[in-house]
C-alpha cells in the first residue's frame, strides 16, 4: 500500500505540474481550455468552472489538457480562442511549457533536498585514484592496480568518483576503453562492467582509498572484550584489505564462531586485534557499529539553488549521453524503467524518508521534461518539430502527412513501452521464473 501511495503521489505531482504548464500558457494567451484531466480513460471525479472541465480519470499514467480547436478534425469557428487560430510562436509557447515546468520542478525540488544538508562520502568529489581492486572483478582481470588514476571512460573525462560510477554504470556487459595514469604514464585498458542490482548497473570493481571506521562498540559484546574502540579505523580482516562498510560487515558475518584478526589504525598506530564473532542466526556478529568517512554538506538557500541548477545540467547531459549510447548499443535497454519499476523505487524511497522520495521525484521530473522535448511525433517535442519544419518550408503539411508522422511516433513509443514493461516484469522474481529464456 505504501508503494502504491508513493507511486501515485510522485506521478500525480509530475503529471499535474506538466499539464498545469500547458494550461497556464494557454490561458495566458487566450486559448480556451475545454478539459484539464489527471489520468486517462473514464472520468471518476469532475467539476466545471467557466469553460473548463477539471477531472480525475481512471488510468493514472499521465494526463492531458484539451484545448478548443486543437486538432484539425475538431469543430472550428476560426475564433481567436482556438489553438490552431494562434500563430506558430504562440502554439510553441503552449507546447513548451509542459516540459519547462517539469524541468523547473526538478530544480526546485532538488534545491529543497540540498538545503537540508547531508553526510556525503568523503571521496565522492575526489579524483578517482584506485584504492582497492576487488578480487575476481573486471578491473582485476583487465590489470587495473591500486594507485592508478582513472582519466577517461569510453573517451569521456572523469574528474571524480561520482563521474566514474555514472560513466561505468550505464555500460554493463559492454567492452569499455578506460584510460588511466600509472607512474606518470598513460595506459588504455579494456574492461567489461558486470551488471549489478535489478537495474543492471555496471560495476568494474574498483574502490576509493578509504577504510571503514568503528563508530561505537556495544558494552559486553565480543568487540569490547577484544579491545576494539570507537574511532578505530579497520584496515584489514585476516589480511584482506577493508575499504567499505559493507565489506567489513560481510567479513565479520561469514566468520561466526571463528577467530579473526583485525588490523586497525588507532591514532596513527597500527594494531592487530583478535576477536571471535558470535554466531547469531545465519551470521556472525562482533557487536559494533561501522561507518565510512564522510563530510558534512550544508549549503545555504542560494547556494542550494545554484548547486541544484548545476546538478540538473550535469544530469541532463548524462541523460542525453545515455540516449545516444542506447542508439549506438553502448548502453543496454535493460536499464530502461517503466511504471512498475518507478512504483518500486517510489515505495523504497518513501520507506527511506521524504528526502529520498523527493530526490527520486526531482530525477524523474527532469527525465520527463527532457524526454518530452525529443522530436518524436505524439510528444510535445514532436509537435514543436513539425511546426518548426513547417515554418522552414513556409507551408503547412497536409493532414495525410501529419497522420503518417504521428503514426510513426506512436509506433516508436509503443515499442519503447513494450521494452520498459518487459524490463519491469523481469525485475519481479516470481514473474522472471516463468520466463524459461531468462533462467
CA–CA distance, 125 with 311 (Å, rounded to integer): 13
SS3 label, residue 233? strand
| DSSP type of residue 192 | -
**Annotated domain spans of the chain:** 1-29+86-117+298-439, 132-207, 213-292
- Alpha carbon 320 to chain centroid, angstroms: 13
Residue tagged 522535448 (cell numbers): 373
CA–CA distance, 432 with 414 (Å, rounded to integer): 22
Looking at residue 134, what is its pLDDT? 87
Looking at residue 436, what is its pLDDT? 65
CATH architecture of 132-207: Roll (2.30)
Looking at residue 223, what is its pLDDT? 92
Q: And the C-alpha cell for 38? A: 489527471
CA–CA distance, 262 with 214 (Å, rounded to integer): 12
SS3 label, residue 117? coil
Which uninterrupted H or E stretch holds 144?
Answer: none
Looking at residue 36, what is its pLDDT? 95
CA–CA distance, 57 with 61 (Å, rounded to integer): 10
CA distances from residue 58 to 3, 110, 166, 410 in whole angstroms, order as listed: 18, 30, 37, 22
Report the alpha-carbon angle 188-192-198, nearest 5: 145
Looking at residue 225, what is its pLDDT? 93
Which uninterrupted H or E stretch holds 431?
Answer: helix 429-432
SS3 label, residue 20? helix
Looking at residue 434, what is its pLDDT? 59
Pair 194, 138: CB distance under 8 Å:
yes
CA distances from residue 222 to 140, 236, 255 in whole angstroms, order as listed: 34, 18, 13
CA–CA distance, 257 with 275 (Å, rounded to integer): 10
Which distant-in-sequence residues (6+ apart) come within 8 Å of 439 by Cβ? 432, 433
Looking at residue 173, what is its pLDDT? 86
Please tell me which residue in 19, 70, 82, 200 is annotated as part of the active site.
Answer: 19
Q: Catalytic: 19?
A: yes
Looking at residue 285, what is its pLDDT? 92
Widest Cα–Cα separation across the chain: 88
> pLDDT, tens digit, for every residue of 103-157?
999 999 999 998 888 777 888 889 999 988 988 999 999 999 999 999 999 888 9
Range list of H helices, 329-398: 339-352, 354-371, 380-393
Residue tagged 505504501 (cell numbers): 2
183 torsion bin: left (phi>0), alpha (psi -120 to 50), beta (else):
left
**What global pTM score does this model have?**
0.77
377 torsion bin: left (phi>0), alpha (psi -120 to 50), beta (else):
beta
Domain 132-207 identical in fold to domain 213-292: yes
Per CATH, the homologous superfamily of domain 213-292 is: PDZ domain (2.30.42.10)
CA–CA distance, 248 with 277 (Å, rounded to integer): 12
Which distant-in-sequence residues (6+ apart) come within 8 Å of 124 by Cβ? 160, 161, 162
Residue tagged 512504483 (cell numbers): 343
> pLDDT, tens digit, for every residue of 384-410?
988 888 888 888 777 777 777 777 777
Which distant-in-sequence residues (6+ apart) come within 8 Å of 15 by Cβ? 38, 39, 60, 62, 63
Q: Which residues of the chain have pLDDT under 50?
A: none
Looking at residue 435, what is its pLDDT? 62
Amino acid at each position: 500500500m505504501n508503494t502504491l501511495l508513493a507511486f501515485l503521489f510522485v506521478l500525480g505531482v509530475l503529471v499535474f505540474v506538466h499539464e498545469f504548464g500547458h494550461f497556464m500558457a494557454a490561458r495566458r494567451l487566450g486559448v480556451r481550455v475545454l478539459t484539464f484531466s489527471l489520468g486517462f480513460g473514464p472520468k471518476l471525479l469532475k467539476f466545471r468552472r467557466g469553460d473548463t472541465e477539471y477531472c480525475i480519470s481512471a488510468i493514472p499514467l499521465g494526463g492531458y489538457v484539451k484545448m478548443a480547436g486543437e486538432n484539425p478534425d475538431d469543430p472550428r469557428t476560426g475564433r481567436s480562442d482556438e489553438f490552431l487560430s494562434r500563430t506558430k510562436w504562440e502554439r510553441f509557447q503552449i507546447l513548451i511549457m509542459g516540459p519547462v515546468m517539469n524541468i523547473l520542478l526538478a530544480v526546485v525540488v532538488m534545491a529543497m533536498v540540498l538545503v537540508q544538508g547531508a553526510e556525503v562520502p568523503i571521496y565522492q568529489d575526489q579524483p578517482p585514484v584506485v584504492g582497492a581492486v576487488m578480487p575476481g572483478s573486471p578491473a582485476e582481470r583487465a590489470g587495473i592496480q591500486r594507485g592508478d588514476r582513472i582519466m577517461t571512460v569510453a573517451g569521456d573525462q572523469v574528474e571524480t568518483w561520482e563521474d566514474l560510477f555514472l560513466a561505468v554504470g550505464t555500460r554493463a556487459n559492454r567492452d569499455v576503453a578506460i584510460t588511466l595514469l600509472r607512474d606518470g604514464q598513460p595506459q588504455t585498458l579494456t574492461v567489461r562492467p558486470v551488471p549489478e542490482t535489478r537495474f543492471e548497473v555496471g560495476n568494474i570493481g574498483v574502490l576509493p582509498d578509504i577504510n571503514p571506521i568503528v563508530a561505537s562498540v556495544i558494552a559486553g559484546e565480543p568487540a569490547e572484550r577484544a579491545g576494539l574502540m570507537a574511532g578505530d579505523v579497520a584496515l584489514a580482516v585476516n589480511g584482506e584489505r577493508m575499504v567499505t562498510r559493507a565489506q567489513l560487515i560481510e567479513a565479520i558475518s561469514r566468520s561466526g564462531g571463528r577467530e579473526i584478526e583485525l588490523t586497525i589504525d588507532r591514532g596513527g598506530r597500527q594494531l592487530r586485534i583478535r576477536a571471535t564473532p558470535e554466531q547469531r542466526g545465519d551470521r556472525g556478529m562482533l557487536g559494533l557499529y561501522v561507518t565510512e568517512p564522510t563530510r558534512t554538506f550544508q549549503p545555504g538557500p542560494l547556494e542550494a539553488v545554484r548547486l541544484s541548477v548545476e546538478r540538473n545540467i550535469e544530469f541532463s547531459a548524462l541523460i542525453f549521453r545515455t540516449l545516444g549510447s542506447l542508439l549506438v548499443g553502448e548502453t543496454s535497454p535493460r536499464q530502461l524503467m517503466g511504471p512498475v519499476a518507478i512504483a518500486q523505487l517510489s515505495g523504497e524511497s518513501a520507506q527511506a524518508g521524504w528526502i529520498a522520495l523527493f530526490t527520486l521525484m526531482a530525477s524523474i521530473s527532469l527525465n520527463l521534461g527532457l524526454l518530452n522535448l525529443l522530436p518524436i511525433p505524439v510528444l510535445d517535442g514532436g509537435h514543436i518539430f513539425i511546426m518548426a519544419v513547417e515554418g522552414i518550408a513556409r507551408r503547412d503539411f497536409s493532414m495525410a502527412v501529419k497522420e503518417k508522422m504521428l503514426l510513426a511516433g506512436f509506433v516508436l513509443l509503443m515499442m519503447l513501452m513494450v521494452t520498459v514493461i518487459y524490463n519491469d516484469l523481469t525485475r519481479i522474481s516470481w514473474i522472471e521464473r516463468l520466463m524459461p529464456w531468462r533462467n
